[in-house]
Amino acid sequence: MIALYTQPGCIHCDHAKTHLNLLEVEFEEINIHEHADALQFLKDNGHTTVPQLYRDTLLLAPGGNVRIQELTKQQLNEWSQ
């Protein structure tokens, strides 16, 4: 399953969630303020911002929300299987 790393109060995270929901793509939202291991995972992978979209350890959208907005339903469904 696709994992969307987010944090509270992040407008870009809200836009990414809206985009994924509009495309009817299943994803797991991981709030980095509630999961210290998730925050460490992002730091270990060189990220300083959210949202970040992953499948396991594969970054699906380098560039955060800007890139997430460019993804199509077909791409996302292929990755979520």
Instruction: Delimit the domains of the chain by residue range.
Output: 2-80
Q: Is the Cβ–Cβ distance between 2 and 80 less than 8 Å? A: yes
For the structural domain made of 2-80, what CATH number should be given? 3.40.30.10
Q: What is the dihedral of CA 51, 68, 74, 5, to 10 degrees?
A: 0
Tens digit of each residue's pLDDT (9 = 90 or more) over 16-33: 999 999 999 999 999 999
Name the pTM for this structure.
0.94
| Nearest alpha-carbon partner for 68 in 31, 14, 32, 30 | 14
Is the pLDDT confidence value at 81 over 80? no
Token digits for 81? 């299987």
* DSSP bridge partners of 2: 27, 55
